[in-house]
Amino acid sequence: MSEIPTKDIDQTDRAYEVGGGLIDAILQAIEDNDRPTFDRMLEPLHAADIADILEQIGSKERNAFVTFWGADFDGEVLAEMDEALSSEIFESLPDSVVGGAFRDMETDDVVDLVEELELHQQARVLDALDVSDRIAVENALLYPEESAGRLMQRELVMAPEHWTVGEAIDFLRTDTDLPERFYDVVMVNPRLEPIGKVPLSSLMSNGRDVRLVDIMDEDFLTIPVLQDQADVAYAFNQYNMVSAPVVDAENRLVGVITIDDAMEVLEEEADEDIKRLAGVGEGSLTDTIFTTTRQRFPWLAVNLLTSILASMVIAQFADTIEAIVALAVLMPIVASMGGNAGTQSLTVAVRALATKDLTSANAWRVIRRETTVGLLNGCLFAVIIGVVGVVWFGSALLGVVLGAAMIVNLLVAGSAGILVPLWLEKFGVDPALASGAFVTTVTDVVGFFAFLGLAAAILL
Amino acid sequence: MSEIPTKDIDQTDRAYEVGGGLIDAILQAIEDNDRPTFDRMLEPLHAADIADILEQIGSKERNAFVTFWGADFDGEVLAEMDEALSSEIFESLPDSVVGGAFRDMETDDVVDLVEELELHQQARVLDALDVSDRIAVENALLYPEESAGRLMQRELVMAPEHWTVGEAIDFLRTDTDLPERFYDVVMVNPRLEPIGKVPLSSLMSNGRDVRLVDIMDEDFLTIPVLQDQADVAYAFNQYNMVSAPVVDAENRLVGVITIDDAMEVLEEEADEDIKRLAGVGEGSLTDTIFTTTRQRFPWLAVNLLTSILASMVIAQFADTIEAIVALAVLMPIVASMGGNAGTQSLTVAVRALATKDLTSANAWRVIRRETTVGLLNGCLFAVIIGVVGVVWFGSALLGVVLGAAMIVNLLVAGSAGILVPLWLEKFGVDPALASGAFVTTVTDVVGFFAFLGLAAAILL
């Protein structure tokens, strides 16, 4: 399989999208039992593209695809795939295919795949590996999920303090077990502690006699092996790093993390934040209908509780509504505006927490800011909605009540939108996961209470 | 300035967050006019960390910081900063500082900064650069914003077809104008078309006599110079690339994009999607209160219109509500559940479109899936809310109306959540930007109409 697709991918309008035409042609080749055409279509595709194709077709076509591919099945395709699907496909692979599919993979890719599989499936993959690869994978699995230890590769190039550029180059020319990709030579002392990094580009541009310690970069960050992968990705992005040595609790070099792994984590974490904010958990398009229904149920259940709470507030004012039915017509406006303003504030807060732009140093300033913005937009919309109320229902007092309730609710929305994420973060709860439910509860309850309460006090 | 902070940053719980303690100490040093302490605190910090500090402190402290730093001001700090703020700080820099601050920066960093500045400010930066750097920056600015041409660096290492490993190494040892970072030597033919890439690690591990064409990687992707930066980032992530040659319309090599730039774009694009989904545009914590209020106003105004539309639906049933006030109490529940279910569907759809997992090949399957999930959750919540209606208000028929309206609205929410983003994408509108308003309008209108309409038909 070649590394990069060069054909059948449109580089202009829908760049890099694996087109429906190509997929149809592949499925046709399978139906026609036309192996040469099938191979010719797959040949230029990267494993990630084949994974995308398998994700996009139906389960019947998927089975036919995998069966037709047979012994040539590429294990990397599974590593590039959604969790639910890789497990399903793996289950369908005969032992003869499993034996060959994973032997050529880099161990960190195998780890990526194995951690997504179920326990009995993991054993099948491990059994198919060479002893040394098997040990490397098993060691990686000893580290906690989402830690630097899972992310790093053990294969790396290190050099002792006394080496010269020439000695390093000679070593690299003779060593047959080099990592597939490396960007730095890590300098270590006799205790195996990293003391510097020599980028390959420096190695190339200096003479053979130059000592490595004289050209090494001493200002480098080491990643603790237990560090959370989100923090690792943050560090790569913040400090424009390309690779970083990973150290154990005794500061001994145990591996290297490269930027391509960090980039994948960065995308995963942003994706997780977006989906958590919308209450869809880990959902992906390849989950079954049943799984998806179950994944979305909890968030909807929480929302049901909060909206029943809001209904209870409304119920307190049943007499008021019975007297002035216009209140029932207008009350959703105030609550809905509050919900949207609150979501704006909390989204900015959740992102700022994730990118470490919101800290104890500026929390109070940001709280003041969000509250003031809520107040200002509250005043603007109070005028607009007040006019609407007066024009629509011909009552100046109704307009005043609407406007006043709008100011109160947008002010509260602004404060809740920043305070709730800050509190959740403080108590160790992911603010992306739970902020929405709390904030909309507050804006619903306050919205209905302020509007109906003011109406009861002023209009009755 | 050293590359990576090694002190004052907690590596455990709040890893890489620039702490409030450090910021306080720096501000104290400024107040005490204690330059040695100030310099000692800044010395281990990366430009990105100093940018974070300037973002987190108030504007008065910021002015004091920049003034105190004076001629040592590092231009890279501005490149790492939020747009609004970098422009504000730049405006306050005297010409003497501008002269020195940007001369040592890589040209692609200068481009990053300059494109955020206003026109008269851009001229001040360009005037401060050497002629060759100035031309490079001006050339980059000729490409459209957010294109590969803006992202790429012009500094690169290329080699003709006939070179050997030894000739390449000798060239690298003598060339004094190498890029700060490079990972591949790009092989070109006499027409300057890229024909392959030799990773530095291959260059290192092969003997001097080996011909480059024999070890070059021929399966590589070239990036068209006008390609959208989001597609560039997608390609790096999808194909695990580290660097890619950029070519013009005649397929001639014009630059190189490296993964660290792609990573930044990937994060920017995800951030943009999250913020657009929540209707906060390009908002960041450093925007002024006035700017923020103005940024959030349009989305709230759209929401006001949609909620007035919903109110108009309610107004049609004023008589029904007057007869049965319980309807006013319960009606927000159905609408709110629909809004949430719709947001779940549309978020999955928007992400799947962004990651090119939702295409013409699987659109119908996904539409069926989302609609079915909506129907299933609709049925589940119909039972729950039906029971609530019966228990709370003692009316079996009210329970039936609630349940039926819930099924209708969640079914509609599921379909609208997928159809609206697909339509917007088809008509060239960013689905992250506009889906929310359309979908909640649909769920509000359908929710109130189904509930009150059924109630009017069945209960009256």
Domain coordinates in residue numbering, chain B: 20-151, 158-277, 289-458
Q: How confident is the model at residue B178 (pLDDT cuts 50, 70, 90)?
A: confident
Cβ <8 Å between A336 and B380: no
Rounded distance, CA A212 to CA A214, Å?
Answer: 5
Nearest Cα residue in chain B from A82: B357
Nearest to residue B369, comparing CAs of B414, B339, B407?
B414
- The three-state DSSP-derived secondary structure of B368-389 is HHHHHHHHHHHHHHHHHHHHHH
Q: Which of these ranges, A9-13, A169-173, B398-402, has the smallest mean pLDDT?
A: A9-13
Q: Which of B27, B197, B205 to mutate to test the interface with A (most CBs of A within 10 A)?
A: B205
Q: Which of A373, A406, A448 to mutate to test the interface with B (most CBs of B within 10 A)?
A: A373
Q: Is B297 on the interface with A (CB under 8 A)?
A: yes
What is the average pLDDT across B392-408?
96
Cβ <8 Å between B11 and A227: yes
Among B207, B352, B448, select the one facing A285 at the smallest CB separation. B352
pLDDT at position A14, please?
63
- pLDDT tens digits, A360-388: 889 999 999 999 999 999 999 999 999 99
What is the average pLDDT across B164-174?
91
Q: Which of A16, A229, A319, A337 to mutate to test the interface with B (most CBs of B within 10 A)?
A: A16
Query: Which CATH code is given to the segment(s) A289-459?
Result: 1.10.357.20
Q: Calculate how close chain A gets to B152, using CA atoms only, in Å.
A: 15
Pick the CATH number of B20-151 from 1.10.3720.10, 1.25.60.10, 3.30.428.10, 3.40.710.10: 1.25.60.10
Region for A223 from its dihedrals, namely left if φ exceeds 0, alpha if ψ lies in -120 to 50, beta otherwise: beta
Q: Which helix or strand (DSSP H or E) is residue A141 part of?
A: helix A131-142
CATH class for the region spanning A20-146: mainly alpha
Rounded distance, CA B245 to CA B256, Å?
Answer: 4
Cβ <8 Å between A293 and B224: no
Burial class (CB within 10 angstroms; exposed 0-12, middle 13-18, buried 19+) of B219: middle
Contact call for residues A345 and A414 (beta carbons, < 8 A):
yes
pLDDT at position A419, please?
97
- B177 compared with A141, residue with greater pLDDT: A141
Backbone angles phi, psi at A247, to 5 degrees: -125, 155
Is B158-277 in the same CATH topology as B20-151? no
Across-strand partners of B186?
B158, B197
Residue B35 has pLDDT above 80, yes or no: yes
User: How many H helices and E strands in chain B?
Assistant: 22, 6
Furthest-apart CA pair in chain A: how many Å? 94
CA distances (Å), origin B339, targets A14, A257, A294, A335, B438: 30, 42, 18, 13, 10
Q: Which residue is listed with tokens 């480098």?
A: A220
Q: Is A305 on the interface with B (CB under 8 A)?
A: no
pLDDT at position A87, please?
86
Query: Which CATH code is given to the segment(s) A158-277?
Result: 3.10.580.10
Q: How many residues are present in chain A?
A: 460
Residue A276 has pLDDT above 50, yes or no: yes
A10 DSSP 8-state letter = -
- B219 compared with B410, residue with greater pLDDT: B410
Nearest to residue B151, comparing CAs of B224, B76, B229?
B229
Q: Which helix or strand (DSSP H or E) is residue B350 part of?
A: helix B326-354
Contact call for residues A310 and B332 (beta carbons, < 8 A):
yes
Backbone angles phi, psi at A206, to 5 degrees: -115, 155
Contacts of B251 (CB under 8 A, 6+ apart): B193, B194, B222
Q: How confident is the model at residue A11 (pLDDT cuts 50, 70, 90)?
A: very low
pLDDT at position B8, please?
38
Taking the mean position of all CA atoms in its chain, how far away is CA A11? 26
Rounded distance, CA A437 to CA B107, Å?
Answer: 46
A286 DSSP 8-state letter = T
Cβ <8 Å between B285 and A329: no
Torsion of CA A248, A252, A254, A260, to 10 degrees: 80
- pLDDT tens digits, A25-49: 999 999 999 999 999 999 989 999 9
Contact call for residues B306 and B441 (beta carbons, < 8 A):
yes
Residue B39 has pLDDT above 80, yes or no: yes
Q: What sign does the dihedral B245-B248-B252-B254 (CA atoms) show?
A: negative
CA distances (Å), origin B4, targets B13, B256, B283, B311: 19, 25, 28, 56
Contact call for residues A102 and A133 (beta carbons, < 8 A):
no
Nearest to residue A336, comparing CAs of B407, B299, B356?
B299
Backbone angles phi, psi at A220, to 5 degrees: -140, 160
- pLDDT tens digits, A113-166: 888 888 888 888 898 888 988 998 999 999 999 999 999 988 899 999 999 999
Nearest to residue A246, comparing CAs of A200, A205, A194?
A194
Rounded distance, CA A194 to CA A176, Å?
Answer: 23
Compute how many other C-beta atoms are within 10 angstroms of the C-beta atom of residue A260.
Answer: 20
Task: Retrieve residue A412's tokens.
Answer: 């509260």
Region for B193 from its dihedrals, namely left if φ exceeds 0, alpha if ψ lies in -120 to 50, beta otherwise: beta
Query: Which CATH code is given to the segment(s) B289-458?
Result: 1.10.357.20
pLDDT at position A153, please?
87
CA distances (Å), origin A190, targets A158, A160, A162, A167, A175: 12, 7, 11, 17, 21
Q: What sign does the dihedral B61-B63-B65-B68 (CA atoms) show?
A: negative
Q: How confident is the model at residue B441 (pLDDT cuts 50, 70, 90)?
A: very high
Q: Which residue is listed with tokens 């450093």?
A: B286
Q: Which residue is listed with tokens 């958990």?
A: A281
Residue B192 has pLDDT above 80, yes or no: yes
Average pLDDT over chain B reads 90
Cβ <8 Å between A348 and B372: no
Q: Is A296 on the interface with B (CB under 8 A)?
A: yes
Q: What angle do CA B78, B80, B82 make, to 5 degrees?
A: 80
What is the average pLDDT across A201-222?
91
What is the average pLDDT across A292-308?
94
Q: Which helix or strand (DSSP H or E) is residue B436 part of?
A: helix B431-458
Side by side, the strands of the sheet bearing B184-188 are B158-160, B184-188, B194-199
pLDDT at position B360, please?
87
Q: Is A202 on the interface with B (CB under 8 A)?
A: no
Q: Which residue is listed with tokens 């591919």?
A: A69
Rounded distance, CA A6 to CA A3, Å?
Answer: 9
Rounded distance, CA A299 to CA A310, Å?
Answer: 17
Cβ <8 Å between B359 and A3: no
- Strands A158-160, A184-188: parallel, antiparallel or unpaired by DSSP? parallel
The one-letter amino acid at A1:
M
- B281 compared with B377, residue with greater pLDDT: B377
Contacts of B39 (CB under 8 A, 6+ apart): B72
- Strands A223-224, A243-247: parallel, antiparallel or unpaired by DSSP? parallel
pLDDT at position B14, please?
64
Task: Retrieve residue B72's tokens.
Answer: 């040592």
Rounded distance, CA A54 to CA A285, Å?
Answer: 12
- Strands A194-199, A253-258: parallel, antiparallel or unpaired by DSSP? unpaired
Task: Retrieve residue B78's tokens.
Answer: 């501005």
Contact call for residues A225 and A148 (beta carbons, < 8 A):
yes
Rounded distance, CA A377 to CA B185, Å?
Answer: 55
DSSP string of B83-152? Answer: HHHHHHHHHHS-HHHHHHHSTTS-HHHHHHHHTTS-HHHHHHHHHHS-HHHHHHHHHHHHSPTTBHHHH-
Over its C-alpha atoms, chain A yields an Rg (Å, rounded) of 29
Task: Retrieve residue B457's tokens.
Answer: 């038909």
Q: Which of these ranges, A124-138, A242-256, A301-315, B218-232, has the smallest mean pLDDT?
A: A124-138
pLDDT at position B224, please?
96
- pLDDT tens digits, B84-135: 788 889 888 888 888 788 877 877 788 888 888 888 888 888 988 889 889 9
Alpha helices in A316-430 (DSSP H): 318-323, 326-354, 363-393, 396-426
- pLDDT tens digits, A249-261: 999 999 999 998 8
Rounded distance, CA B382 to CA B395, Å?
Answer: 15
Q: Is A209 on the interface with B (CB under 8 A)?
A: no
Residue B47 has pLDDT above 50, yes or no: yes
Q: Which helix or strand (DSSP H or E) is residue A165 part of?
A: helix A165-174
Rounded distance, CA A241 to CA B48, Å?
Answer: 12
Residue A4 has pLDDT above 70, yes or no: no
Residue A18 has pLDDT above 80, yes or no: no
Residue A104 has pLDDT above 90, yes or no: no
Rounded distance, CA B389 to CA A449, Å?
Answer: 21
Contact call for residues B45 and B11 (beta carbons, < 8 A):
no
Rounded distance, CA B320 to CA B457, Å?
Answer: 10
pLDDT at position A281, please?
78
428-447 in chain A: CB under 8 A from chain B: 444
- pLDDT tens digits, B245-280: 999 999 999 999 999 889 999 998 999 999 999 998
pLDDT at position A1, please?
39
Give the count of Cβ contacts less than 8 A between chain A and B: 404
Taking the mean position of all CA atoms in its chain, how far away is CA A48? 17
- Strands B184-188, A223-224: parallel, antiparallel or unpaired by DSSP? unpaired
Rounded distance, CA B57 to CA A254, Å?
Answer: 38
Tell me what ipTM this predicted complex has.
0.89
27-86 in chain A: CB under 8 A from chain B: 46, 48-49, 52, 55-58
Q: Which of B285, B333, B346, B411 to mutate to test the interface with A (most CBs of A within 10 A)?
A: B285
